[in-house]
Structure 1
Amino acid sequence: MEYLIILCVVLYGCAMLFVLFYGMAQAHLLYRFSRYSKHGESAALPAPEVWPMVTVQLPVYNEKYVVERLVQSIAALDYPADKLEIQLLDDSDDETTTIIHHSINQHPQLQFQHIRRPDRSGFKAGALKYGLALAQGEYIAIFDADFVPSPYFLKQTIPHFADVKLGMVQTRWTHLNQDYSILTKLQALALDAHFFIEQVGRNSQQAFINFNGTAGVWRKATILDAGNWQDDTLTEDLDLSYRAQIRGWDFKYLSAVESPAELPPVMSALKSQQFRWTKGGAESAVKHLPTVLRSGAGLRTKYHAMAHLLNSAVFVAILIASLASIPLLWAQVNNLLPDVVFRIGSFMLISFVMISLVYFQANALGKTTGMNRLLSFVVYYPMFLSMSMGLALHNAVAVWEGWSGRRSPFIRTPKFNLEAQQHQWQENLYRSLKIPFTTYLEGVLGLLFLGTAAWSVAQGEYAFLVFHLMLAIGYLLVFYYSFQSYRKI
């Protein structure tokens, strides 16, 4: 029993040390953001004398609900028609193809190309690579099917490529359906922290940033120089980003340029997105972290690259710490642990304070009044933190698969177009109805931590009470929303 307790102390301590390492990186990004925001984003650059040829790539697979909206928004781009080539990279096997054909025929003045591959090899990365071989543009703009770019998107981004070392420009995602439900509000909070704070904080110090898969523009020569699109990870965007920056290309993040998109409105769609992002991030860490650490980059750049590539490991750390905390609580109740263990553990909680400040700042940037900022944060952040913990099991499985090299297909996130209110999410033909085994385990863990919290109160030991209550709420909410989203009409 003594060795088991020691093992749990070591596991809990290592997990919390990793969270502290990540929290310190987040705190530094917040500091860099604060310094950058005092000076403001640089003014818009002058237009080039002659606008260059641009290819807009639209990778699409079974997007009947949003593809017409996508075509209409791209057709509205304010850019010389003779310098604009638009590729519909259509891998669909349903009526999406017919909708695309009908939609592009409404714009004969534009160079729409409806491109069909023989097969879906390489999934999104394969489609982008296939289209790139046909592209005439010097620059490649990419949008996922649920995005609705501003008409001025290209004129706001292309001038930055006057810098011959610039390889990619990324813009900030905003949210078409943020107020649709509690779930979309919480996702918006998470994404805003990335797009307001993390991207600005990294880019302001020339640390590695990532193309976010959409709403960005690449110099075609950069993609080719970095080895083109590759499909050996589920995050082809993160993979290419690191390959290009390792090759010496600069990236630019434009926080002021907004690119509206849809948030997954149901848990099943969110989970498929989260699984792809976390597993792909883990795969990219295995692929690139050794190269980055051996590179001539500065120590600060390497530190942020480690935190960036290993950020999905936070879910593994939370899962380990939560499970180890149960026997530690038992040991504390039975006076088998010295108090110093809990004093050190309390010090580690400073990492949660640092991470919370990042989310508070991101939340504040989207609100107009001080009271609105505070109330929004007080209401939604504890729920966000709990549900993030509740996704620890699901995402930890994804991370483990990424680290171990287990391959899996690219499962795209179903789009709904609910803001148009033409149909309900239950009617979406693309959502999964198969309940994963991990969903049942989430329910079990929710009950386990709820029972542990009740037992700790009965024993008069409150060291882990808040932690266990948040875990219980998080797992039970994820379990509930999961079953709700998997149900049939």
Structure 2
Amino acid sequence: MEILLLLLYGLCLLFIFCYSLLQLNLTVLFLRSRKSAGKAFYPPPAEWPAVTVQLPIYNERFVVERLLEAVTALEFPREKLQIQVLDDSTDETVEIVAQKVAAYQAQGINISQVRRRNREGYKAGALKYGLYQATGEFIAIFDADFVPEPDFLKQTIPAFHKPEIGVVQTRWGHLNEESSLLTRLQAFGLDAHFSIEQSGRNFGGHFINFNGTAGVWRRQCIESAGGWESDTLTEDLDLSYRAQLKGWEFLYLENKVVPAELPADLPALKSQQYRWTKGAAETSRKHFKKLWQASIPAATRWHGLFHLLNSSVFISLFLASLLSLPLLFLQTNSESSAFILRSTGIFLTGFLLLSVYYFVSFRFAQPALPKRVFLFRFPLFLSVSMGLSLHNALAVSQGFLGLKTPFVRTPKYSLTGISGSWKTNPYRLSGLSLITLLEGMLAIAFWFSVFYGLMHEQYRFLFFHGMLAVGYSLVFYYSLRHSFTR
């Protein structure tokens, strides 16, 4: 049993270490891409093509007017622009949209409210349904909480400078980053994904993904790849891989930013994390074999495989944390103890590699902030990520097992800067569940292990367990606080 525990523990740490190595490689690619940043210039076409803007919404009465105001202000030839509000709402959002659409139509804007009989296929179903009525050669998509600037289409459409380019994706900004510690930590993680991962993969010629919003598709690319499918919770990642496996190229515009609202409370963040991590596992299950067998460069294959398996790091992290508890009590002079010490070295090395990855992202995204801020945010971000590992590991496991669950959208509250409140919002989700109780129990268990290690001079897991204790405590605390605060 001891050997089995050690083997599983070592394998979990090895996967995390390999993941960290690839993140470091993406960091190198990102730094190389910065040398040519800003040099690409895409002149406007001689004649602007027809564009359809799709706005998939569901019960978004607090943000839909802001969205419509931004989209109807897009600078583009009016006769070439079609706007579809793909409205699956079941509350007063329907009437709000109807009134606003009528007002914009009276101004000569080509905008329509598209309604379906049911929500079959959720967001993917709405996008597919709207495509039947779309007139554009290009399809721009914005979620309800995004606020594109007027020049968005004039910055992205020229980037389709080659017929092989099927998608142009832009970087997400943050409307309410400074509203709380939770939103600052989310921005910290998302900035790394968009700056390092998307830029690095794109510069290296590897597969990237359309992020579900703030991007533009060539309609021919959508149709040739088989269209939108709803058999995963991440229809954007699924279609991205189907398109790139068919030879389509994607382009990421790092310098074009579209701001959006970050989840303001932990239950909303958990809902978003559940959908993203489970959907990634479902997409991996769907495309892993195809990617492995594809005739693509080896580096692109490996980056793609780890991209699809990104969410699996939560399973490795959760298992490693659980296994480390009984391993804490092994004799300090045994061969097993020596193995644990070496394995702990692997964890610390991976931690250092990730610190480079996030530090580069932080310096690029927040150049005005002093470096000491990173010394606070990075370990705290990593601790909260560890605290979410139980929740996310269960979501990933369900995805790999093929267990189907409904698409639960992340509630939006119309927050900007430090203004606005989510506390009395009717769209709020509850964070109370069996998982919340287990997170509290794990917080107690890891605090006990920290004190045990200090009392018995067992320092092998002190750093690891300390971060887990802080992470689970914060996740448990905010789950309760955000569920009961009114």
Structure 1 residues 420 and 92: alpha-carbon distance in aligned structure 2, compared to 1, 3 A threshold: farther
1:190 and 1:487 map into 2 onto residues whose CA distance is 27
One-letter amino acid matched to 2:328: L
2:484 is equivalent to residue 487 of structure 1 = yes
3-state SS in 1 of match to 2:62? coil
Residue by residue over 1:306-337, the C-alpha shift from the partner in whole angstroms, topping out at 9 and shown as x without a partner, is 11000101111110111111111100447462
Asked if the contact 2:175/2:415 (under 8 Å) is kept, the reply is no
Is 1:472 paired with 2:469? yes
1:69-88 aligned at under 5 Å gives the runs 69-88=66-85
Residue 446 of structure 2 corresponds to 449
Q: Is the 8 A contact 1:126 1:229 kept in 2?
A: yes
For the 8 Å contact 1:12–1:320, the answer to whether it is kept is: yes
Q: After superposition, give the CA deviation of every residue in 1:358-384 in whole Å (9 maximum; x if it has no partner).
A: 111111112234xx3412201211110
Distance 1:423 1:26 in 2: 36
2:134 alignment partner in structure 1: 135
- 8 Å CA contact retained: 1:363, 1:373: no
Q: Which runs of 5+ in 2 are unaligned?
A: none
On the 8 A contact 1:24/1:354 being kept in 2, the answer is yes
Residue 389 (structure 1) aligned to one of 386, 390, 403: 386
Farther-moved stretch of structure 1 (384-393 vs 94-103):
94-103
SS in 1 for 2:280: helix
**TM-score where L is the length of structure 1:** 0.97
Name the aligned partner's letter for residue 15 of structure 1. C
Instruction: Tell me the alpha carbon deviations over residues 77-123 of structure 1, each in whole angstroms, 9 at most, x when there is no partner.
Output: 00011100000000000011111122223322210110000100000
- Contact 1:333 / 1:459 at 8 angstroms: preserved in 2? no
Structure 2 match to 1:8: 5
Q: CA RMSD in A?
A: 1.4
Q: Distance in 2 between the 1:62 and 1:106 partners?
A: 20
Report the CA distance between 1:303 and its aligned residue.
0.8
The partner residue of 1:59 within 30, 40, 56 is: 56
| Distance apart, 1:481 and its partner CA | 0.5
Instruction: Give the TM-score normalised by the residue count of structure 2.
Output: 0.97
| Alpha-carbon shift at residue 339 of structure 1 (Å) | 1.9
Question: What residue number does 1:240 align with?
Answer: 239
Tell me which amino acid in the other structure corresponds to 2:255.
A
Name which of 102, 106, 112 aligns with 2:103. Answer: 106
Task: String of CA shifts for 1:55-82, please: whole Å, max 9, x gaps.
Answer: 0000000001100000000011000111
Q: Which residue of 2 aligns with 1:428?
A: 425
Distance 2:439 2:339 in 1: 32
Residue of structure 1 aligned with 2:26, choices 5, 16, 29:
29
1:203 aligned partner: 202
Q: Secondary structure at the match of 1:412?
A: coil
d(CA) in 2 for partners of 1:460, 1:354: 28
Asked if 2 retains the 8 angstrom alpha-carbon contact of 1:170 and 1:212, the reply is yes
Describe the superposition over 1:222-268 as per-residue Cα deviations: whole angstroms up to 9, x where unpaired. 00000000000000000000000000000000000001000001000
Q: Is the 8 A contact 2:178 2:418 kept in 1?
A: no
Flag the 1:50–1:282 CA change in 2: closer, same or farther, 3 A: same
CA contact (8 A) 1:212 1:238 kept: yes
Code of the aligned partner of 1:149: P
AA of the residue aligned to 1:392:
S
Structure 1 residues 230 and 194: CA distance shift in structure 2, 3 A: same
Q: Is residue 411 of structure 2 the alignment partner of residue 414 of structure 1? A: yes
Give the count of matched residue pairs: 484
2:323 is matched with 324
Alignment partners' CA distance in 2, 1:161 and 1:72 = 26
> Is 1:386–1:473's contact at 8 Å kept on the other side of the alignment?
yes
Alpha-carbon distance in structure 2 between the residues aligned to 1:175 and 1:146: 10
Matched residue type, 1:145: A
Give the 3 Å change call, closer, same or farther, for CA 482–247 of structure 1 in structure 2: same
**Superposition deviation, residue 32 in structure 1:** 0.6
What is the aligned partner in structure 2 of residue 231 from structure 1?
Answer: 230
Question: Which of 3, 10, 17 is the equivalent residue of 1:20?
Answer: 17
Deviations 1:10-54 (A, max 9, x none): 111000000011111101100111111112143331111110100
Distance 1:259 1:434 in 2: 29
In 2, Cα distance between equivalents of 1:219 and 1:368: 34
| Other structure's SS at 1:18 match | helix
Residue of structure 1 in register with 2:152 after alignment: 153
1:339-358 paired onto structure 2 within 5 Å:
339-358=338-357
Partners of 2:349 and 2:234 lie apart in 1 by 31
**Corresponding residue for residue 314 of structure 2:** 315
Distance in 1 separating the partners of 2:50 and 2:433: 46
1:221 aligned partner, one-letter code: Q
Structure 1 residue ranges without an equivalent (≥5): none
Residue among 93, 96, 114 paired with 2:93: 96
With over 3 angstroms needed to count, the CA separation of the structure-2 counterparts of 1:65 and 1:393, relative to structure 1, is same
Q: Which residue of 2 aligns with 1:296?
A: 295
Alpha-carbon separation, structure 2, partners of 1:340 and 1:485: 42
> Does residue 405 of the first structure (1) align with residue 402 of the second (2)?
yes
Q: Measured at CA, do residues 331 and 256 of structure 1 come closer, stay the same or move farther in structure 2, by a change above 3 Å?
A: same
Contact 2:166 / 2:249 at 8 angstroms: preserved in 1?
yes
Aligned-residue offset at 1:182 = 0.1
Letter in 1 for 2:413: F
Q: Distance in 1 between matches of 2:417 and 2:292?
A: 47
Whether the 8 Å CA contact 1:44–1:156 is kept in 2: the answer is no
Alpha-carbon separation, structure 2, partners of 1:348 and 1:396: 19
Alpha-carbon separation, structure 1, partners of 2:122 and 2:403: 17
Equivalent AA in structure 1 for residue 274 of structure 2: F
Task: Tell me which residue corresponds to 1:38.
Answer: 35
Distance 1:373 1:41 in 2: 25
> Which is worse superposed, 248-257 or 354-363?
354-363
CA distance in 2 between counterparts of 1:461 and 1:336 reads 16
1:346 & 1:406 partners in 2: Cα distance? 36
Q: Given residue 211 of structure 1, which amino acid in structure 2 is its aligned partner? A: F
Q: Please tell me whether the aligned partners of residues 196 and 362 of structure 1 are also in contact (alpha carbons under 8 angstroms).
A: yes
- Please report how far the alpha carbon of residue 7 of structure 1 lies from its aligned counterpart in structure 2 after TM superposition: 1.5
Q: Cα distance 1:142–1:417, how it changes in 2: closer, same or farther (>3 A)?
A: same
Cα deviation for residue 420 of structure 1 reads: 7.7
Q: Is it true that 1:47 corresponds to 2:44 in the alignment?
A: yes
Q: Is the 8 A contact 1:13 1:345 kept in 2?
A: no
Q: CA deviation at 1:146?
A: 0.1
CA displacement at 1:421 relative to structure 2: 7.3
The separation in 1 between residues aligned to 2:178 and 2:459, in whole angstroms, is 36
- Contact 2:267-2:431 at 8 Å conserved across structures: no
Residue aligning to 1:165? 164
